[in-house]
Chains A and B, each alone.
Chain A
Amino acid sequence: MAVIGRLRRARYLERGELVVTVTLLGALSVVYIVPFIWMALSSLKLPQELFIVPMRWFPKKLEFSNYARMFREFPFLLDLRNTMILVVVNIVSAVLSNTFIAYGFSKIEWKGREPLFYVVLATIILPFQVVMIPLFIMFHTFHWIGTFFPLTVPGFFGNAFFIFLLRQFYLSIPNELSYAAKIDGANEFMIYSRIVLPLSSAAIATVVIFSFLRTWNDFIGPLIFLSDNRLYTLSLGAQQIMQNLDPKWDLLLTLGVVMTFPVLVLFFLLQKYFIQGIAMSGIKG
């Protein structure tokens, strides 16, 4: 009995302990959540209300005009359009290139495959700063600075993390399917497009989500490569108004809500794929 009692203690918290733990977690959660709530409430404040001391949590009157002003006083539609162009192109290129490349790293046996795959993995940890300057100079000689090319073209040549993610997924697809298809006369490209791709929708969903997040959130890329303000993305546009003498904080917080909201919605709809992608990145370790 004593042993069983100890066993139970190992796996279960006493009632009192549970209450304390959940309370502490709850308190910590509030700390993590408050900035979101504060941002949402502040986007409904009048500009001058932001600067009142002591801080006021709730706006006096819900002021939705900030959202309308965003269209007039910030090139919201233009920057949104630019961001969306990059998002769409980068999602398409990421799916096309990485699903294809990962097939070569998992479903075909050839000499040099494994060493080359280690090179792929090694590039994941190469700091961007090392390639940043030569890339800038290279794109400069191509006359690509101030165009979308530097932010889209490299995507067509694969991304190490996505290749890794898809390869791991492909390895879990039984090879018997490919053998059967081969006997029926299918070539590798047909196996890739008709068998492996349709079975990989879960992994492809993860690639789509992460590719969206990277492009939507990217700051350093647009900062270095987009010199033309007609091409600015939302992130870069936001940073640029912060440089002004009057940074229009109310508009920036409104923009913050507008930029964060779609990501949160996407997360709540597709939580599984988000967590999968994050946990995958840790598996290899």
Chain B
Amino acid sequence: MLKARRNQINGLLFVSPWIVGFLVFITYPVLASLYYSLTKYDVIHPPEFRGLGNYLDLILRDDVFRIALLNTLYMIVVGTVVITVVTITIAIVLNNRQIRGLSVFRVVFFIPTLVPLVILCIVWIWILQPQTGLLNTCLSYVGIRGPGWLADPRLAKPAFIMMFLWTSGGAVIIYLAGLQDIPETLYEVASIDGAGFLRRTFTITVPLLSPVILFNVVTYVIGIFQSFAESFIITSGGPDRSTLFYSLYLYQNAFQYFKMGLASAMAWILLIIAALFIAILLGLERRFGYRQ
């Protein structure tokens, strides 16, 4: 009895810094944000209660909000598909026994994730320049006249997906770790039964990797909802609002127009949408994913 009580006190003592931090830097802000989302607040004057007014304004009346939401959904849907397919393909190839030893490739795909965010933006501004840019220069070698990637509203989002693809080496590493957990014997049995490479990939690798895929997709989706610096620095949301993403519009409302209440409502809508997304993904995984 005495020991259990001492453990209870000691345990709480050790985690107490986290509890304090959780209350001050997470619980309070989350609740305060909910409150601000129901008010009109510009920091200088005290908050003025207006019920669900901010939410109704955003959903019913704010066209820019709708644009930002659709831009973000585009990045989620198209980006998830492109990035997942590419990163899994790279991981599968790198996981091959004869290539696994060539760890230099693993390093190559990983190091772009180490470039500081602001520098990443600077480099990509130059990669995407219409005339002097790296991408169009390389395209010109094969006779293609590259477009102005960041000047064309239809191309700006694909250009951003290319940039995110360049920095998704972390996903490759996580897929590789997942692939190494799949028992080799499964592949041996399958190939004795005559299954070719593609067949083995879709009947063994992908189902067994599905929890890892889920993890990476959730990480990517949360990342996209929060991604702000890239469009803030590279395009300021242009051209023609084609890269005005959710978090950028939220930032603008909060710190450029000082509509703290409206921005808080956006934060809560983001939280609800992100939670729904994750719930749907978890549901899909539960229904179709592989279970041991």
Contacts and interface: CB of A to CB of B under 8 A. Distances in A.
Interface in A1-35: 3, 6-7, 9-13, 18, 21-22, 24-25, 28-29, 32-35
Interface residues of B, number: 98
B207 interface: no
A264 B271 CA distance: 35
A188 B10 contact: yes
A130 B30 contact: yes
A12 B97 contact: yes
Interface stretch (B48-56, B76-84, B114-122, B152-160): B114-122
Contact of B119 (A33, A128, A260): A260
Nearest to B234: A242
- Residue of B28, B118, B188, B254 most packed against chain A (CB within 10 A): B118
Contacts of B8: 110-111
Contacts of B270: 127, 129-130
Interface in A193-250: 213, 216-217, 219-220, 224, 234-236, 238-239, 242, 249
B68 interface: no
B260 A101 contact: no
Contacts of B254: 132-133, 136
Interface in B54-78: none
A285 interface: yes
A101 B11 CA distance: 9
Interface in A105-153: 105, 108-111, 113, 116, 119-120, 123, 125-138, 140
B255 interface: yes
Contacts of A95: none
Nearest to B253: A133
Interface of B: 7-8, 10-15, 17-18, 20-22, 24-26, 28-30, 32-33, 36, 43, 90, 93-94, 96-99, 102, 104-105, 107-112, 114-119, 121-123, 126-127, 131-134, 137-138, 140, 166, 170, 173-174, 176-178, 184, 187-188, 190-192, 194, 200, 211-212, 214-216, 218, 222, 225-226, 228-229, 233, 247, 250, 254-255, 260, 263-264, 266-268, 270-271, 274, 278
17 contacts: A12-B98, A32-B111, A55-B134, A101-B14, A101-B18, A104-B15, A110-B7, A133-B263, A136-B254, A137-B43, A188-B14, A192-B14, A234-B116, A235-B117, A253-B122, A263-B116, A267-B111
